[in-house]
């Protein structure tokens, strides 16, 4: 680091800057994997929950009850408990129970039902008349999903994904407690175990910046997609 910067920051902060960049990359990796799984698996699950729900076109009380129970059960686990409970499964999938890739497994499993519920709630806000009009014109269920439900709820879905991203940023920090890597791991090792308060403050400031960036980007995209 240039010499003049060493006068602006403490020696502790200067020494961990390279590791800070690595930790930030690990956090973004965990977040990216979790969000990708949420969109690819949680999104369709949320649509299915909506379509199978009471009064909907594919109303199936039995199937809906099972899926609803599974989603609620997974969401009821505090993340730190889910993280520990899934260690055998994580080791089977990732080959290890530590590191950012291993932490991505419980993050993804927690993100899928979380986003599914958000998707279901947003689809319920789509006016019933719009869906009935699409049915009257002979649209298939797949066409209704893509051209009516997703299109009408797209702004809310972007905001839901924004909420998910911010929530799971904090979850990724929790994963650092059990060796998941990332910014949380850095904060624990230096800020807590070594009592380096300045490092703790730096990691918190970095997380705040990331959260603000995610929220700003999500709000801007949602406003652009909102045609109401």
Other Cβ atoms closer than 10 A to 197: 13
pLDDT at 7: 41
Confidence of residue 8 (pLDDT cuts 50, 70, 90): very low
For residue 108, being part of any structural domain is answered with: yes
For residue 2, being part of any structural domain is answered with: no
What's the average model confidence in pLDDT over 24-41? Answer: 91
pLDDT at 94: 83
pLDDT tens track for 163-203: 999 988 888 888 777 667 788 888 888 777 777 778 888 88
pLDDT tens track for 64-97: 899 999 999 988 888 888 888 888 888 888 888 7
For residue 200, being part of any structural domain is answered with: yes
pLDDT tens track for 115-127: 999 999 998 888 8
Query: Do the beta carbons of residue 198 and residue 12 sit within 8 Å?
Result: yes
For residue 167, being part of any structural domain is answered with: yes
For residue 215, being part of any structural domain is answered with: yes
Q: Residue 37 pLDDT more than 90?
A: yes
Q: Whole-model pTM?
A: 0.85
Q: The CATH number of the domain where 58 resides is what?
A: 1.10.3720.10
**What's the structural domain count of the chain?**
1
For residue 76, being part of any structural domain is answered with: yes
Element at 27 (helix H, strand E):
helix 11-37
Average pLDDT, the chain: 83
Q: Residue 133 pLDDT more than 90?
A: no
Confidence of residue 217 (pLDDT cuts 50, 70, 90): very high
Domain that holds residue 58: 12-225
For residue 7, being part of any structural domain is answered with: no
Other Cβ atoms closer than 10 A to 170: 12
Of the candidates 198, 195, 196, 200, the residue with the CA atom closest to the CA atom of residue 184: 200
For residue 1, being part of any structural domain is answered with: no
C-alpha 205/C-alpha 195 separation (Å) is: 17
Neighbouring C-alpha atoms within 13 Å toward the C-beta of 15: 8
């Amino acid at each position: 680091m240039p010499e003049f910067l060493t006068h602006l920051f403490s020696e502790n902060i200067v020494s961990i800057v390279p590791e800070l960049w690595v930790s930030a990359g690990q956090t973004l990796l965990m977040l990216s994997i979790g969000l990708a799984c949420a969109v690819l698996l949680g999104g369709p699950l949320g649509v299915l929950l909506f379509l199978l729900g009471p009064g909907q076109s594919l109303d199936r009380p039995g199937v809906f009850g099972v899926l609803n129970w599974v989603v609620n059960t997974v969401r009821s686990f505090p993340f730190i408990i889910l993280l520990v409970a899934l260690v055998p499964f994580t080791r089977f999938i990732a080959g290890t129970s530590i590191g950012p890739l291993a932490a991505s497994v419980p993050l993804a499993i927690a993100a899928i039902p979380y986003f599914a519920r958000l998707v279901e709630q947003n689809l319920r806000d789509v006016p019933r008349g719009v869906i009935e009009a699409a049915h009257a014109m002979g649209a298939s269920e797949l066409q209704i999903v893509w051209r009516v439900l997703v299109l009408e709820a797209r702004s809310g879905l972007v905001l839901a994904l924004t909420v998910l991203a911010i929530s799971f940023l904090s979850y990724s920090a929790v994963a650092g407690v059990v060796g998941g890597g990332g910014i949380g791991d850095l904060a624990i090792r230096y800020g807590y175990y070594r009592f380096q308060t300045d490092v703790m403050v730096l990691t918190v400031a970095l997380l705040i910046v990331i959260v603000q960036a995610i929220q700003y980007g999500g709000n801007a995209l949602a406003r652009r997609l909102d045609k109401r």
